[in-house]
């Protein structure tokens, strides 16, 4: 086990961009970060570039107030019940940075993000992390709010999940995430999957989904294919992960009838499946799932779904002698290994949370995995901001993650080997 390297200073809270996007330029020199360092508000969120050679941090887009409430996970009032404080994630604001939106094109250094102006209108902007030039791309319709964004491989188009703005009203007072989804369905709300042409700012609706959609991801080579989710729609095990190809109906990646190798689920619908992401070569979707009622700690598994729906799913459980809890799973380019923040040592077991960054060497042909511990993360997991969300660098030589174990939220790196 190794000691992680701090990539950001103690002087400000910093975190990676969401794990479905790059946070580091292709040459590994510049790190894009969300930070409180340039905001006057204690819950402020601005965008910065960190020179990985010197450690120096410079602002890219400054927002003086707190992050806007653009997605229920990222901002809500403090819970009346102290046991629900872990859901609290900042002051509700109508303007400022949408923290779930920043999306980096690693080759060009173009960083796209959504922010709210003081009169309640949001827009998509682009700033280059190398030269700092910023421009407006397009406005977001006033009746919509952005969940997540994603870039195509060329950096020419941005995919947006535009939720009905009323979902924020559900999020502000919710008791649980399932409640948001149920209210979304009760009122017949939809999510527009929208594509924006970067050069012109032209916006086009790809389709409208009758569900609460947050994650949207272009296929790595085929932008006509989109991976997306139904957020907190029951049963999670079969309704969570979807694919849509232009001109065709959306299909579930993990339907109840699809054959599965290596792992037997008495009822696939009872699995809690999440954090789907493309294998970078586009051959498959990698995801993870859990059975929370499996004993002393959850039974967790990593899944691989071929794009060919006639092929069986391959689901491999984490060995039971390696305790794990809630976490994220990020695949290598070919899917031969997966990085996760879910595993725990004795200290993590006592707190019932993952506190290790680990590499899972996957044997998809034989249904086995080897667990290699890289370092301790020891983050609090108190909010989405403090989740490690580990990702691989472009050359796959290192893992980057977020942790607040020092008392300040910082970005760290650790070698993969």
Mean pLDDT by 10 residues, the chain (417 residues): 94 94 95 93 90 96 86 66 67 86 97 88 96 97 93 97 89 77 93 98 97 96 96 93 96 94 89 94 94 87 94 96 93 94 95 96 97 97 91 95 95 96
- Residue 121: the pLDDT is 87
Q: Evaluate whether 168 touches 188 at the Cβ level (below 8 Å).
A: no
- 0.85 exceeded by pTM: yes
Which domains are present in the chain? 1-15+262-417 (2.130.10.10), 21-214 (2.130.10.10)
Query: How far apart, in whole angstroms, are the C-alpha atoms of residue 382 and residue 142?
Result: 31
pLDDT of residue 391: 96
pLDDT at 44: 83
What is the structure's pLDDT at 303?
97
- Among residues 293, 365, 369, 383, the alpha carbon closest in space to that of 329 is found at 369
Residue 222 phi/psi, 5-degree rounding, is -125, 90
pLDDT (tens digit per residue) in 283-336: 999 999 999 888 888 899 999 999 998 999 999 999 999 999 999 999 999 899
């Amino acid at each position: 086990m190794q000691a992680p390297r701090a990539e950001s200073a103690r002087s400000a809270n910093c975190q990676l961009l969401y794990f479905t996007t790059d946070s580091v330029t292709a040459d590994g020199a510049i790190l894009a970060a969300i930070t409180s360092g340039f905001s006057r508000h204690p819950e402020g969120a601005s965008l910065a570039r960190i020179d990985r050679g010197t450690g120096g941090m410079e602002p890219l887009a400054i927002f003086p107030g707190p992050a806007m409430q653009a997605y229920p996970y990222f901002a809500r009032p403090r819970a009346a019940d102290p046991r629900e404080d872990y859901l609290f994630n900042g002051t509700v604001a109508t303007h400022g940075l949408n923290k779930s939106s920043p999306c980096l094109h690693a080759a060009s250094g173009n960083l796209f993000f959504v922010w709210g102006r003081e009169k309640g209108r949001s827009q998509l902007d682009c700033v280059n992390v190398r030269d700092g030039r910023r421009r407006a791309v397009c406005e977001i319709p006033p009746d919509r709010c952005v969940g997540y964004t994603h870039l195509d491989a060329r950096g020419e188009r941005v995919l947006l999940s535009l939720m009905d703005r009323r979902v924020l009203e559900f999020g502000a007072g919710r008791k649980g995430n399932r409640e948001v989804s149920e209210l979304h369905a009760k009122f017949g709300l939809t999510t527009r999957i929208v594509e924006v042409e970067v050069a012109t700012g032209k916006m086009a609706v790809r389709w409208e989904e009758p569900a609460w959609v947050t994650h949207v991801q272009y296929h790595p080579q085929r932008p006509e294919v989109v991976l997306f989710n139904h957020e907190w729609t029951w049963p999670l095990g079969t309704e969570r992960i979807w694919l849509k190809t232009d001109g065709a109906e959306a299909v579930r990646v993990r339907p109840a009838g699809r054959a599965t190798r290596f792992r037997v689920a008495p009822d696939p619908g009872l699995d809690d499946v999440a954090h789907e992401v493309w294998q970078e070569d586009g051959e498959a979707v990698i995801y993870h799932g859990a059975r929370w009622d499996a004993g002393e700690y959850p039974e967790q598994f990593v899944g691989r779904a071929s794009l060919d729906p006639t092929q069986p799913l391959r689901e491999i459980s984490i060995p039971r002698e390696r305790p794990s809890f809630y976490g994220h799973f990020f695949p290598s380019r070919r899917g031969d290994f997966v990085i996760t923040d879910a595993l725990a040592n004795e200290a993590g077991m006592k707190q019932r949370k993952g506190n290790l960054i680990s590499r899972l060497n996957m044997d998809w042909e034989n249904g086995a995995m080897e667990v290699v511990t890289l370092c301790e993360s020891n983050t609090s997991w108190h909010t989405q901001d403090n989740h490690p969300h580990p990702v691989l660098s472009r050359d796959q030589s290192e893992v980057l993650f977020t942790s607040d174990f020092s008392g300040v939220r910082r970005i760290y790196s650790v070698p993969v080997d």
